[in-house]
Amino acid sequence: MGKKLSKFDHRKNITAVQQREIQSIYCYKGDRKFLNVSNVNYMYPIDDNESDRIQENYNLYRYVWNDNFSAPIKDILNSNNTQVLDIGCGPAMWTLEMATEYPKSRFVGIDIAPTFPIRVKPNNVEFLQENILTGLPHADNTFDYVICRFMMFAFTTKDWEIAIKEICRVCKVGGHIEFMEKDILFWNEGNFTRKARLTFVEELRTKKKIETVITPKIPRFIADTKQFPVIYHTERNVPIGKWGGVLGENYKFIYTWGAKNLKSIMKDCGYNEREWDSVIDKCMKELSENDGYDKIHRFWAQKEELLQHIESYVIEV
Ligand SMILES: C[S@@+](CC[C@H](N)C(=O)[O-])C[C@H]1O[C@@H](n2cnc3c(N)ncnc32)[C@H](O)[C@@H]1O
């Protein structure tokens, strides 16, 4: 990885030196900018179009869940000096909205790419450019609550283990961790979508070591830390297409946007860009016609002292 960047808005008033520093962690594929950091596998572009997509995603999932978290932390968020950490915060809609709603708590957002706001933010928020896979600069047992959302295209299976261990380390005993994630799986998919999806999942698994059916593995990674005896799980179905009304139409639009933002990187897996777009459009049309839907998952757990001989179990909520 190149030299660490200082904190400034990379879109305005930057010097040539700063420009070079920024570029040292990025590379271009066509007109899209991507991370170029050794041992980091993040597959989405890092640019304004992608930041807009992440923000739209945030709004949609906020609507689907009607809240920003599932762990039982409301009371502690309303007490003084609760410490919250958002892993891979991106443009940081979650951190910013939570910090505004809970002004007594202190929020830290970390991301390997500085797409978070530098100057205009609530006083109780700090953003740091950090790679969770090389370790966070925080002491053990620092945070009361650590959230990690939508990192499926950032981590290999091994990376998930490393990241979850690090999340466990910085969470206080008595504190909570939470994950919000989805898989590349659909319900009520047709034959075309099924074939395209299985091929895509397998290509990423073998060529990029990225596991896109990750939620079945998350409880095991949490359990392996031996500090979370009970893991809670809940899920929401999200319709794709017209049959699901405004939500379905919006989800189809955002899903298509996200899938198409992967197209430059999918060239590495042998897909031509036009072909890729056409496969995505056909899948979305088929899902819409079949009343297809997706599932979004949340897992949360409370940290205890190290329990060498205890097997964790999952409670469905
Ligand atoms: C899909 S975005 C999710 C953003 C945010 N969590 C949300 O839910 O809106 C994934 C984010 O993870 C960041 N990321 C990828 N690899 C990372 C790493 N190793 N350490 C920290 N952040 C990383 C990316 O830069 C990107 O902002």
What CATH number should be reported for the domain holding residue 236?
3.40.50.150
Report how many domains make up the chain.
Answer: 1
C-alpha 92 – ligand 1 centre gap (Å): 10
Calculate the CA 95 to chain-centre distance: 13
In angstroms, rounded to a whole number, what is the distance separating the alpha carbons of residues 211 and 209?
A: 6
Q: Is residue 109 part of a domain?
A: yes
Atom of ligand 1 lying closest to residue 155 CA: 16
- Specify the residue with its C-alpha closest to ligand 1, atom 25: 113
Q: Looking at the domain assignment, is residue 141 inside a domain?
A: yes
Ligand 1 center from residue 164 Cα (angstroms):
14
Measured from CB, residues less than 6 Å from any atom of ligand 1 are: 40, 42, 44, 46, 54, 58, 88-90, 94, 111-113, 115, 131-133, 149-151, 154
* pLDDT value, residue 310: 76
pLDDT at residue 308, as a whole number: 73
Residue 117 lies in a domain: yes
Whether 271 is covered by a domain: the verdict is: yes
Query: Is the residue at 26 inside a domain?
Result: yes
Name, in order, each residue with C-beta under 8 angstroms of 314's C-beta and a sequence gap of 6 or more.
Answer: 219, 231, 232, 233
Q: For residue 145, how far is its CA from the centre of ligand 1 (angstroms)?
A: 18
Q: Is 119 exposed, middle or buried (0-12, 13-18, 19+ CB in 10 A)?
A: exposed
Cα 96 to middle of ligand 1, angstroms: 15
Domain span including residue 309 = 16-316
Collapsed DSSP state (helix, strand, coil) of residue 194: helix
Maximum Cα interatomic distance, the chain, rounded to a whole number of Å: 56
- Element spanning 316, H or E: strand 313-316
Atom of ligand 1 nearest to the CA of 90: 27
Distance 125 CA to ligand 1 centre (A): 17
In a domain? residue 5: no
Q: How far is it, in rounded angstroms, from Cα 135 to Cα 166?
A: 7
pLDDT tens, residue order, the chain (317 aa)? 333 333 333 344 445 555 555 557 998 888 889 999 988 899 999 999 999 999 999 999 999 999 999 999 999 999 999 999 999 999 999 999 999 999 999 999 999 999 999 989 999 999 999 999 999 999 999 999 999 999 999 999 999 999 999 999 999 999 999 999 999 999 999 999 999 999 999 999 998 899 999 999 999 999 999 999 999 999 999 999 999 999 999 999 999 999 999 988 888 778 888 999 999 999 999 999 999 999 999 999 999 988 777 788 899 99
Does 3 map to a domain? no
**What residues have CB less than 8 Å from 113, skipping those under 6 apart?**
25, 35, 46, 129
Question: How far apart (Å, rounded) are the C-alpha atoms in residues 243 and 246?
Answer: 9
pTM of the model: 0.92
Classify residue 138: in a domain, yes or no: yes
